[in-house]
Each structure stands twice: as structure tokens, then as C-alpha cells.
Amino acid sequence: MMHFADSLTFSGRKVVAAWAALPFPALSGSSLPDILSAHQQDVPWKLLSSWREEQKVSCCFAQSVVLRGICQEKPTSCLGQPWSPLHSCESPEQVLQQFLHTHFPGAFSTSHVLQQPCDTRPPFPQFFSPLLTSRGFLLDKAQGFSSAGVESIPVLAALQSSPVLHSLLSGLCQELQAPNVRRWSSFFTAGVEQDDFQEALEELKTLSQCYETGFGADGSEDEADSD
């Protein structure tokens, strides 16, 4: 995982954020172009970090996205969505790549689409909504069976190097600076030196600044990342 994260980081960045849609929001019988066309304003996945604020991704520097469990139905645009460029793609991989290019123009993106869904039979926790079919697709209304009948679900997972990490890392730095660690004798008896602690805080602050955007008036930071 460390080497994989390294492949998505550059310009002094060392951290990536994990995002996921579990299950991926898809109506039963709909095609991937139909599903993604319904999410033109925002991506259908959420940040997995337990950060106290709601975070939405509007841009990123690099990302790797994997979608699994979406069947290969022919695009029909049957959800009332207009025909989009996604419906002109020849494969699910191209559909996902086009979607990522539209939302994150200029970002380095890799994507994979796998047919095998995520198995959710016991002992997988059965915390699913009754609005899911046994294959994890969305229903218009709840069915009579228990959510324990969900045997598999479609899942999207993503690792991103994005400006969201500026807030996460700078917030962590502020929380570490708040307490007076000099009062914690056990903290330093464990082998941590005060100077080393302060140096680590400065490195964390510098790392958080690597995820800021628009350092220069001409946006040269973003342009360099896009290249």
C-alpha cells in the first residue's frame, strides 16, 4: 500500500485519502453510463476519514479508482437522464475514465472496472438498508425481506491525492499543538525528545501546505501538477 500511495504523490506530497461508496448507488438493471450520468454535480463516494467536517472533493492531483460489481447492461438512459458523452463510450473502463476526466480535468487518473461484486454473506456485518436487493442494488421502495438477505454489493473505492488533505493534516497539526506536552512526563520518558516533537510538527505543517492550491497568482502550482 505504501508503494501504491507513492505512485500517486509528487511535489512533496506523501499522503493519499481513501474514499468509498459502499454500496455504490445503482438502480437494478441500469447501465454504468446511466448511473454516472445521475451524478453530474458531485461524485458518488465519501471520504472514509473520521474528520469532523463534511468534506467534498472538487479537484485532485492524482487518483486511482476501482469499481466492481456493476453488470454490463446496454446503456438506455432509462432513468430520465439526458444522453451524455458517457453513453458513447465503448467499454465500462472508458465510461469511468471519461467520468473522472470530466470531474477532475488535468488530474492523473487510473481506473479499473471489475465484474465481481463484493461478497457480503455472513460473517460480513448485515447493516444494509431494506432498500437494497440481494445483489446490493437500489429499490424504489423497501421489500419485505430482511437486509440480511443482501449477499453482494457493488463497490467503488478510490485513493486520491487532493486538496482535502490540507484541511485534514493542518487540523491534525493544530490538535497536536494544543496540549502542553511538557506536562506529560510519560510522553518523554518513552524516548521522545521535545526538539524531535517540534520538528515533527513542523514537518506535518509543511506537508499540509503541499496540498494547498493556488500558491501563485497565475496558478502555476496547479498547472505543474496537471503536467
Burial class (CB in 10 A: 0-12, 13-18, 19+), 2: exposed
pLDDT at 79 over 50: no
pLDDT of residue 94: 92
Higher pLDDT, 222 or 45: 45
Cα 14 to Cα 156: distance, rounded to the nearest angstrom: 23
User: 98-124: per-residue pLDDT in tens?
Assistant: 999 998 988 999 999 999 999 999 899
Total Cβ atoms within 10 A of residue 114: 14
DSSP letter string, 181-214: GGG-HHHHHTT--HHHHHHHHHHHHHHHHTT-S-
- Domain boundaries of the chain, sorted by first residue: 1-161, 166-210
Per-residue confidence (pLDDT) for residue 227, from 0 to 100: 41
Cell of 43: 461524485
> What percentage of the chain has pLDDT greater than the value 90?
28
Task: For residue 48, give the nearest of 156, 197, 147, 191 by alpha carbon.
Answer: 156
Beta bridge partners of 64: 110, 159
* Measured torsion, CA atoms of residues 198, 203, 206, 211, in degrees rounded to the nearest 10: -130
Q: Alpha-carbon distance 14 to 210, whole Å?
A: 9
Neighbours of 172 (CB within 10 A): 16
What pLDDT was estimated at residue 117?
93
- What's the pLDDT score for residue 11? 82
H or E, element range at 3: helix 2-6
Amino acid in position 11: S
What is the arithmetic mean of pLDDT over 59-69? 92
Average pLDDT on 164-173 reads: 89
Mean pLDDT over residues 88-96, rounded? 90
Of 141 and 226, the structure prediction assigns the larger pLDDT to 141
| CA dist 95 → 28, 31, 75 (Å) | 18, 10, 11
CB 165 within 8 A of CB 159: no
Q: Is the pTM of this model over 0.85?
A: no
Tens of pLDDT along 127-159? Answer: 888 888 889 998 877 665 555 588 999 999 999
pLDDT digit string (tens) for 22-45?
Answer: 999 988 888 899 888 888 778 888
